Amino acid sequence: MKYIFLSLVLLTAISFTASAQDTTTVTSAATETSIPLPVVKLIKTPAALGISPKTQKSIAAIANPPINLALFAVDRRDKNQEGNSDVIMIITIDQVTKKIKMSSILRDTYVNIEGKGMDKINAAFALGGPQLAIKTINQNFDMDIQDYINVDFFGTAKMIDALGGVEINVKPEEIPYLNNYLKEISIIENIPPVNVTNAGIQVLNGRQAVAYTRIRAVGRGDYERTERQRTVLVALFNKMKGAGPALYPVFMNQILPNMETSLSGMNLFKIGGDILNSKSKTIDQARFPLDSSSKGIRVNNIWYLSADLKITTAAIHNFIYKGISPAR
């Protein structure tokens, strides 16, 4: 069985949990230790989610349209803070083939945010939480996203540690920047950092892996940073291949509490079943906007990534709905 990032929640829901709205029969072992899944309520009318009549019509014309979920990783220091979403991805699950796709959206993309005007897309989460963040993606890229999963950097580190770390090929030039971010994380948590000292393939712990995903001064800035983010996610997928019942308590006790989602237990159960039955061996990945349809601009001395949203939307739809991988 091939697992994706969503499995961190989905397997837990299938095996252990019942949400506040849904009751699921679980095994006796699960019943002894099950905990409720906290569900974040969203207003799910098309208008509240920014799903236009045009998008609704186009999706309705597709037989068994794929499920699109937003995945955010928010830069915040505590659970009460609505920080910027430094990771913005669309996770797509094909309901027929069970194929999984990951579409990264660069955080500096210059878009219209309802009630704010033009700004970086990652500001939407800080301004209006997941409701506005989803609405901003839907409005600017004609999407139909209705649910999301969110983690912060510290929750991500805990999840990675719970799985025993991830194997990453660290480049020599990345080490000083990785350790610098690691120092920042360690100061906040008041824990001595365990620096990365050698380049090459190695197992990174949770804090090291999070620091790795934050590097943007090496290579092509945010372009390569989103690649690092996807690298860590794929490493997690690989880590979880073949994971058996022994890992379920880890999901429940150490992973689930560090995640936030709008998905109910019943929906998690359904989607999780689809994923677990998937025979797909790969996860398709893409990053948007494309180089050919975007450029950096400065507005009031702030750098933004200005994109041709019509071309970007077409490229996203081609990738998600038609299976056409974008050319850079």
User: What is the predicted pLDDT for the residue at 209?
Assistant: 93
For residue 13, pLDDT beyond 70 = no
Amino acid present at 107: R
For residue 27, pLDDT beyond 70 = no
Instruction: Show contacts of 239-248: CB within 8 Å, 24+ apart.
Output: 239/163, 239/164, 239/166, 239/167, 240/3, 240/7, 240/163, 241/1, 241/2, 241/3, 242/1, 243/3, 243/11, 245/15, 247/163, 248/11, 248/12, 248/15, 248/16, 248/30
| Mean pLDDT, the chain, whole residue set | 81
What pLDDT, in 10s, does the model give residues 3-12?
A: 334 444 443 3
Confidence of residue 64 (pLDDT cuts 50, 70, 90): very high
What pLDDT, in 10s, does the model give residues 259-282?
A: 788 987 667 666 666 665 666 667
> What does the alpha-carbon distance between residue 201 and residue 161 come to, in Å, rounded to a whole number?
17
Which of 187 and 306 is assigned the larger pLDDT? 306
In this prediction, residues 96-125 reach a mean pLDDT of 93
118 contacts: CB under 8 Å, gap ≥ 6? 110, 111, 112, 299
Task: Yes or no: say if 178 and 212 are a contact pair by the CB < 8 Å rule.
Answer: yes
Classify 102 as helix, strand or coil: strand
User: What is the predicted pLDDT for the residue at 241?
Assistant: 59
Phi/psi for 230 (5° steps) reads -70, -35
In this prediction, residues 298-326 reach a mean pLDDT of 96
Amino acid present at 143: M
- Of 95-109, 239-253, 285-299, the range with the highest mean pLDDT is 285-299
DSSP 164: T
In this prediction, residues 229-254 reach a mean pLDDT of 69
pTM: 0.78
Confidence of residue 87 (pLDDT cuts 50, 70, 90): confident
Confidence of residue 56 (pLDDT cuts 50, 70, 90): very high
> What does the alpha-carbon distance between residue 127 and residue 134 come to, in Å, rounded to a whole number?
12
Task: Yes or no: say if 107 and 96 are a contact pair by the CB < 8 Å rule.
Answer: no
Which residue is associated with the tokens 């999840």? 159
Short-list 166, 281, 318, 311, CA closest to 228: 166
User: What is the predicted pLDDT for the residue at 247?
Assistant: 61
Confidence of residue 240 (pLDDT cuts 50, 70, 90): low
Enumerate domains of the chain plus CATH numbers.
7-322 (3.40.630.190)
For residue 248, pLDDT beyond 70 = no
Strand 100-105 to 283-288 pairing: parallel
Estimate to the nearest angstrom the gap between the alpha carbon of 319 and the chain centroid: 17
In this prediction, residues 298-317 reach a mean pLDDT of 97
Q: How many CB atoms lie within 10 A of CB 197?
A: 8
Q: How many CB atoms lie within 10 A of CB 298?
A: 9
> What does the alpha-carbon distance between residue 186 and residue 168 come to, in Å, rounded to a whole number?
20
Task: Yes or no: say if 103 and 286 are a contact pair by the CB < 8 Å rule.
Answer: yes
